[in-house]
Amino acid sequence: MGDVPADVHPNRPNLVLVHCHDLGQHLGCYGADVETPNLDRLATDGVRMKNSFCTAPQCSPSRSSMMTGAYPHENGVMGLAHMGWSLDDDWMTLPKYLREAGYSTHLLGFQHEVPDEPERLGYDQVDDGTKRALELVDVVDEFFSTRAADGEHAGAGSPFFVSIGIEEPHRPFRREYLPEDVYEDSDPDATDTADFPYLPDAPGVREDVADLHSLISGTLDPAVGEYRSALEDAGLADETLFVFTTDHGLAMPRAKGTCYDAGLETALMLYQPGVVDGGAAREELVSNVDFTPTMLDLLDVEPPTDVAGKSFAPALRETGEHTYESRDRIFGEMTWHDRYNPIRAIRTERYKYVRNFSLLPRVFVPMDVAPTPAGRAVQEEFYVEHRPVEELYDLEADPHELENLASDRKPFETADEAGDADPEYADVVDRLRKELFEWMTNSDDPLLDGPVPYPSME
């Protein structure tokens, strides 16, 4: 590999980041009724963040936060990359920080922070020929084998960072390119929808859940197991930080495209033998705006101090007592998806406050969800939930956010059935409203100046 630059620390660990689409926390190790033995094993080996959330319940904005440490309205990615929104080249990203620290940087599979030329994000090498989990197995195996053969690993040369982007379990849940035996156990009649109390127990919902489970168990989970095996076979596992996460919540009604927990929750597991391990389940409230500062901190690279995110690495290291001060709130946002849908939210350990800025009278359902069996079932049984201006949920008493305490209107009731806020919670509404608008003001949220226009496209 040649001489190592003087400013490179060859003993820094490698970083393997595996990220998938639309998973939320729907894994066995998070309590979901789905078979995920490989990902469960990762949680057992490493550290699982129980209260991990994203900044936005949609792909590009959330990923832009994960890679920059800035909220979507700060870094400009307030909608989807293939629909005109893109991270500007002058933004520092995780691969750029690591490249400056002497890492070689690689992308295998999927990214969605820019519409094209992912090298702009700071990758030395890009192989985006496939983004399917199982097809990436051979690509990943070759990558690790080559790194080991070239001596490109901690202690022998420049460490590497590889981002492995997986498409599944993005919809459609039933994929034509997969062998039929992946779906041989997909039985809607035998499927339990207890994991989805915010949806009706209807045939369409059970059909979707059955196929979702097959997609996760038959593609995502075994693929991640293969990636870890390839890393071990290459002799690189002991000197590598292995991270698995997702961009946002499940592609289900009242999840993706909303600032409810089902839209913002994310699986996040980290493992580095002897450093980040032991099967702990951490309770700290974290946001993926903290992701890049945390990764840099874990790799002994100075995290940036001029971004919203902060490192929670001190909570992960096996060093006895630590001084990490956990967040007491996280923020979520949505501006554009396939339609204009401006929402801002604040979540504490106890409460969720949601502010809807849209003039649309009903809850937004992304176009990749609305026409699906579950989407049709929701519309057929409940029509579409009316959208109030303000929402407040007591997460201890109502973890699935079904009773809006900022109004006595219940989900799926129409506007003329609305009433007044619960007086017991009026002070909470006032406080969280103030804190949300303070955050928007301090972070120069353009939504405060009025509707955010669609980006100009050449």
Could you read off the pLDDT tens digit of each residue along the chain, which spans 458 residues? 333 344 555 579 999 999 999 999 999 999 999 999 999 999 999 999 999 999 999 999 999 999 999 999 999 999 999 888 999 999 999 999 999 999 999 999 999 999 989 999 999 999 999 999 999 999 999 999 999 987 655 445 689 999 999 999 999 999 999 998 999 999 999 999 999 998 888 888 999 999 999 999 999 999 999 999 999 999 999 999 999 999 999 999 889 999 999 999 999 999 999 999 988 899 999 999 999 999 999 999 999 999 999 999 998 875 555 667 889 999 999 999 988 999 999 999 999 999 988 766 555 677 777 778 887 777 666 545 567 888 999 999 999 998 989 975 554 444 444 456 678 899 999 999 999 999 999 999 999 999 999 886 54
Strand order in the sheet with 280-287: 125-127, 104-109, 160-165, 14-20, 240-246, 268-271, 47-53, 280-287
With respect to residue 9, please indicate whether it lies within any of the assigned structural domains. Answer: no
With respect to residue 453, please indicate whether it lies within any of the assigned structural domains. Answer: no
Out of 287, 315, 343, a domain closes at 315
Give the CATH number of the domain where residue 428 resides.
Answer: 3.30.1120.10
Both tokens assigned to 338: 């396939």
pLDDT value for 321 = 59
With respect to residue 140, please indicate whether it lies within any of the assigned structural domains. Answer: yes
Q: How many H helices and E strands in the chain? A: 11, 12
Domain membership of residue 355 as a residue range:
329-447
Question: How many domains is the chain built from?
Answer: 2
Contact of 56 with 333, CB cutoff 8 Å = yes
pLDDT value for 6 = 42
Q: Going by C-beta distance under 8 Å and a sequence separation of 6 or more, which residues neighbour residue 453?
A: none
Global pTM reads 0.93
Tokens 């993706």 — which residue?
A: 256
Q: How far is CA 405 from CA 199, 392, 435, in A?
A: 20, 5, 18
Same domain flag for 381 and 290 = no
With respect to residue 423, please indicate whether it lies within any of the assigned structural domains. Answer: yes
pLDDT value for 156 = 53
Contact of 87 with 74, CB cutoff 8 Å = no
Both tokens assigned to 456: 């100009």
pLDDT value for 253 = 87
Same domain flag for 305 and 348 = no
Same domain flag for 302 and 416 = no
With respect to residue 321, please indicate whether it lies within any of the assigned structural domains. Answer: no
With respect to residue 6, please indicate whether it lies within any of the assigned structural domains. Answer: no
Helix (H, G, I), strand (E, B) or coil at 114: coil
Same domain flag for 283 and 349 = no
pLDDT value for 361 = 55
Tokens 């997460």 — which residue?
A: 395
Same domain flag for 251 and 149 = yes
**Could you tell me how far CA 186 lies from the centroid of its own chain?**
26
Same domain flag for 156 and 132 = yes
Same domain flag for 183 and 49 = yes
Same domain flag for 300 and 375 = no
Smallest CA-to-CA distance from 227 within 135, 354, 101, 305 is with 135
Same domain flag for 131 and 254 = yes
pLDDT value for 1 = 30
**Phi/psi of residue 87, each to 5°?**
-75, 125
Same domain flag for 258 and 287 = yes
With respect to residue 335, please indicate whether it lies within any of the assigned structural domains. Answer: yes
pLDDT value for 414 = 45
Out of 292, 315, 338, a domain closes at 315
pLDDT value for 415 = 45
Give the CATH number of the domain where residue 254 resides.
Answer: 3.40.720.10
With respect to residue 4, please indicate whether it lies within any of the assigned structural domains. Answer: no
pLDDT value for 305 = 94
Out of 315, 337, 353, a domain closes at 315
Q: What's the rounded Cα separation, in Å, for the pair 360 and 242?
A: 42
Same domain flag for 283 and 420 = no
pLDDT value for 136 = 98
Same domain flag for 281 and 335 = no
